[in-house]
Structure 1
């Protein structure tokens, strides 16, 4: 159960990030300046599904198309970002294309990989069908999956460039961090090609800048005044658009902190959605508040349904039936409570986590 709850919490945090970012700027990125990590290992399965689907007769004609028609539960009530075009029917090479894919990738722990792939294909077709941009977007989707899969296999250091030594409690291995960034950059250049800069250019630049700041801050040979001077010079050398991006990131983090605080406050008040709505409205506005509340309501409803199901499953357990008969009854019960296959998979995962099997 703990593992499933971590996955659920991660997906919810990513969606809350989308809520928060949307409140700041409709075109802002979902995961600005967040490096892909091992959390994307499951995307490798999406890449495999994407490769297999290349034999489909036409874009959107996928064997899982019926399952991909509707948005997953965690995205219910939201709209996918728009894929940008250049005015001549071709896909525009901007970060917004990555935002489109990242929107759907937040559900990778919620739905099967093949269903996710089919969903993205259908959404590409819905927005771009009949234009060269449709095939271009599909090609970039396949490249992005290959990139995430390859990055997920890279050796991971024990720290990232962002935390300071005082935050981690240990001196970071700057050489290892530099190697990790260089390896990721190399993978992007190799697999993303001309899309590497639009997808990761600003992110990579900030990460290298963060590493330079960390190197300065941890240099024992420098006085505090020398460190301050070098850090100021480093910031001054950044392009204006990068400094503006840093400010947007700061605002986004503040928005995420507000959402987390609102959740915690609502839980203290007995799960009051009105308290959550009021606190988020004060800082992010009513639209972001309503999106966050709707997601919380959906999650609350799902948890209540699972609790009812678990109670009835416990009654089956008390009958001390043979294992095969017990599992068959639990499976039937689960299908009655969770008609959506992804919901049934989630319930089964929670069952396994609690030691209930089935």
Structure 2
């Protein structure tokens, strides 16, 4: 899909007011151009996208993309930088959607193996969709997740004495936390709430996807009957139009990967 996908007539003609979920906050100014008028692909760009995505369950995809276009063009002036930001926005959303599907493909057994598989899948998706920013955006987060997994493995190792566990945990050093970007307290709180809501939505989608798979594999149903039952299932799980549309988009990504 070309990077102009969002800057076409349909998206550019839509004007979106500040979503209710962002009321009371100030849009953080995080996008910058370098000396050659290209986008500076720093971790701030991801934080900016995460801020915009607070509204993802409030706005239909077309309006969310139009809102992103408005905010990107408000901070960047170079056509090249704008297109680079839009391309990253598209790929980041695709990455997040693929990330939401990974639980349906896990085949590892045991908690440690499951966690390791999840981390490996996440990093593979980062390289697949965001290879040009994967190091800047995810390296610290991946390191923290890997250390957390090591701590879990040590704690779950029944062959170690309590003294040995303490020694190995001390050798790993204290838990590290990424330094957050400087945002207003209101914006920081909204992002934290949105990330918690996203985790809950992903869990809800996983439950829905499990039941969808049962319908898809039910013998004796025609394709039309399956499609109707899945549509009804989606409506039961996702009451708002925006959430149902997002679930449908995830479904399409799932089908394209299989």
Q: Aligned pairs, how many?
A: 188
* Pair 141,289 (structure 1): closer, same or farther in 2 beyond 3 Å: closer
Higher RCO, Cα 8 Å, sep 6+: 2
Distance 2:151 2:145 in 1: 10
Q: 2:114 aligns with which of 156, 159, 176?
A: 176
Distance 2:92 2:40 in 1: 16
Larger Rg: 1
CA positional deviation for 1:84: 2.9
Unpaired segments ≥5 residues, structure 1:
1-50, 159-171, 237-241, 250-286, 293-344, 350-358
SS at match of 1:78: coil
Alignment of 1:134-283 (within 5 A): 134-155=82-103, 173-235=111-173, 243=176, 245=177, 248=179
CA RMSD, 1 decimal: 3.4
Deviations 1:242-279 (A, max 9, x none): 84x35x58xxxxxxxxxxxxxxxxxxxxxxxxxxxxxx
Unpaired segments ≥5 residues, structure 2:
190-238, 244-258
For the 8 Å contact 1:53–1:62, the answer to whether it is kept is: no
Q: 1:89 aligns with which of 24, 33, 37?
A: 37
For the 8 Å contact 1:157–1:177, the answer to whether it is kept is: no
CA positional deviation for 1:157: 9.4
**1:110 alignment counterpart:** 58
Distance 1:234 1:157 in 2: 31
Q: 2:22 aligns with which of 47, 72, 75?
A: 75
For the 8 Å contact 1:89–1:132, the answer to whether it is kept is: yes
For the 8 Å contact 2:3–2:86, the answer to whether it is kept is: no
* Pair 220,156 (structure 1): closer, same or farther in 2 beyond 3 Å: farther
Distance 2:105 2:148 in 1: 15
